[in-house]
A and B are shown apart, each in its own frame.
Chain A
């Protein structure tokens, strides 16, 4: 391994020895690709002409305050996930792998992986908790339409965490031919670093766009945090701008004081899960707790290690938004701006709206990580017919 994979005291590579050669191969391929102009050129071409970058920066016209939205919802595939699956797919091809495996919660990352599987002709297998398979049958069908095989995972709580477990198990037998296309900036080194590098295009564009429009940097940059990929991608180019406040919004679920939330940084303790030392929701013995969020993408009991470091170093702040707050932000954005966003993204917006009410002059940049199509049926069930 060329790097130690650490972000302060967090990160590392805590995987069975059998997987270390696969991780080393991936690290080497990734670091080499960063020095390879041809790789970058192909990725840039795909991001522009296949995925639709750059994405717009939209100033909200009717919401209170000065809120700008970075519109990853307009990316092909409907979320920021596409940025990094393109990068990892090119790496998989570079390593000569013929098969992709991935985990998915609601199906967003599974759909993104199916997209690159189809585009590059990989044999693609998506692990998905059996409960999620049932709840997200449309996304399952989308993946299948693009040629992926969806494998329901019946172990544990049958959610995202269990799908990651199963993907890691598959990979430890199949790494010779298979790339594990992990969906967020979590997991063992080099995933957190690599996924951040592929996602930092979000913040790079947004920083340039807001400088051009406003002639200055925003006061606050906000994004939702599940595993942490859209947030780290948005934050990365602002970390050096000390005057810019970085805020990650976790799922407070039914409330931070009960057990039904996904607020790992707010309520977890440092531990080791899925290959990284990071904050983890767990009991006293270290058994992993089940998380909860109305948005499947934030329903994960660990978090990317760089966020753990940004929290402990104080460079970023982390807060929670409840299911109810996210739903009302979702609805307000639809009513006032004509944008249906993902439930995940609605968590970031919910916190932005709180800030904007108190500080109407604050310039807030919100990462709108995905569009809400996948959540419309659930919204209908939860909100009923709008008045």
Chain B
């Protein structure tokens, strides 16, 4: 069984949703980044999502843009990111690890090499922010061939036939965006139960909401909409960048994934 499936099963048995924590690899440097990843896992993250920094992240808001810039300014390269993932994997044999990056970094290495290196480092899945379902078929096939789960994004405005395609191509989980726009904590999140239902009906892997999740109320609302979990990115990255207590934030948000967590 895949690490994602095992995790979702285990949490479902306890009546909990999955809490995913996003961090940018190498932000602000490789050592600090390794420490932060350890901290969010120790604080209760069920899955982690790690960014490989790209110079031109068009799907990201200011917080994650700045994180990528810090990492690149520290001289972090793609190979360093894979090495960092391998270290996290060594210490955490069971936690699902997903990579989030942009298409140009993949083609620069060649798809096959990038996917092989990601899988060898111990990653379970890969989400390419600028790869819509329209283009994803050959990429998803190559990912599966390398033992990497393709994760695609679904939104409330995604047409029904595209949702079916997303369901067919995805493995591990399905990334649902809670609103239009880019990553970040400002705009109002909307957790669309119809989107979750449509994905489930199409046989998609468990839907997980991301984009703009920063409070326990967001977590509860996302799970109430039927999602199997949430991913919190900008709020964690922002907290870490400001020297805040990342572990406390993760504990707070993870707490809200239990079915006895009503406020």
Point out residues on A near B: beta carbons under 8 Å.
1, 12-21, 155-156, 161-162, 165, 168-169, 172-176, 269-275, 277, 280, 282, 284-288
B104, CB-defined interface residue at 8 Å: yes
A155 B135 Cβ-Cβ under 8 A: no
B177, CB-defined interface residue at 8 Å: yes
Other-chain residue from A21, A161, A269 in contact with B56 (beta carbon distance below 8 A)? A161
Asked whether A172 and B54 contact (CB < 8 A) given A15-B132, A272-B107, A280-B104, the answer is: no
B58 A21 Cβ-Cβ under 8 A: no
Chain A residues with CB under 8 A of B162: 17, 20
A271 B107 Cβ-Cβ under 8 A: yes
Other-chain residue from A21, A169, A269, A271 in contact with B158 (beta carbon distance below 8 A)? A21
A-B CB proximity, top 6 nearest? A286-B108, A173-B181, A272-B103, A17-B153, A286-B105, A287-B55
A18 B177 Cβ-Cβ under 8 A: yes
**Interface contacts beyond A15-B58, A161-B56, A172-B181: sample of 14 additional A-B pairs, CB < 8 Å, sorted by A:** A1-B134, A13-B135, A17-B132, A17-B155, A18-B158, A18-B180, A169-B182, A174-B180, A271-B104, A273-B56, A277-B107, A286-B78, A287-B55, A288-B56
Q: How far is the CA of A19 from the CA of B166 in the complex (A)?
A: 15
Asked whether A12 and B77 contact (CB < 8 A) given A17-B152, A280-B104, A285-B105, the answer is: no
Q: How far is the CA of A15 from the CA of B129 in the complex (A)?
A: 8
Q: How far is the CA of A280 from the CA of B182 in the complex (A)?
A: 24
B108 A284 Cβ-Cβ under 8 A: yes
Q: How far is the CA of A286 from the CA of B179 in the complex (A)?
A: 29
B193, CB-defined interface residue at 8 Å: no
Point out residues on B near A: beta carbons under 8 Å.
54-62, 65, 72, 77-78, 102-109, 129-135, 152-155, 157-159, 162, 166, 177, 179-182, 187
Closest chain-A Cβ to B133's Cβ sits at a distance in Å of 7
Interface of A is mostly: mixed
Question: Can you sample 27 A-B contacts with CB below 8 Å?
Answer: A13-B134, A14-B130, A14-B132, A16-B59, A18-B155, A18-B177, A18-B181, A20-B132, A20-B134, A21-B159, A155-B62, A156-B55, A161-B56, A162-B56, A165-B56, A169-B58, A271-B107, A272-B107, A274-B58, A282-B108, A285-B78, A285-B108, A286-B54, A286-B106, A286-B109, A287-B55, A287-B72
Other-chain residue from B57, B130, B179, B181 in contact with A272 (beta carbon distance below 8 A)? B130
B130 A275 Cβ-Cβ under 8 A: yes
B130 A286 Cβ-Cβ under 8 A: no
Asked whether A173 and B104 contact (CB < 8 A) given A13-B132, A15-B132, A20-B132, the answer is: no
Chain A residues with CB under 8 A of B72: 287
Chain A residues with CB under 8 A of B56: 156, 161-162, 165, 273-274, 288
B55 A14 Cβ-Cβ under 8 A: no
Q: How far is the CA of A169 from the CA of B182 in the complex (A)?
A: 6
Asked whether A168 and B58 contact (CB < 8 A) given A16-B132, A18-B177, A287-B72, the answer is: yes
A282 B104 Cβ-Cβ under 8 A: yes
Chain A residues with CB under 8 A of B106: 286
B132 A288 Cβ-Cβ under 8 A: no
Of B58, B62, B130, B155, most buried by chain A (CB within 10 Å of CB) is B58
Other-chain residue from A17, A19, A175, A277 in contact with B133 (beta carbon distance below 8 A)? A17
B157 A12 Cβ-Cβ under 8 A: no
- Specify the chain A residue showing the minimal Cβ separation from B177: A18
Chain B residues with CB under 8 A of A282: 104, 108
- Specify the chain B residue showing the minimal Cβ separation from A290: B55
Q: How far is the CA of A13 from the CA of B133 in the complex (A)?
A: 10
Chain A residues with CB under 8 A of B153: 16-18
Q: How far is the CA of A15 from the CA of B54 in the complex (A)?
A: 15
Chain B residues with CB under 8 A of A173: 179-182, 187
Q: How far is the CA of A169 from the CA of B107 in the complex (A)?
A: 23
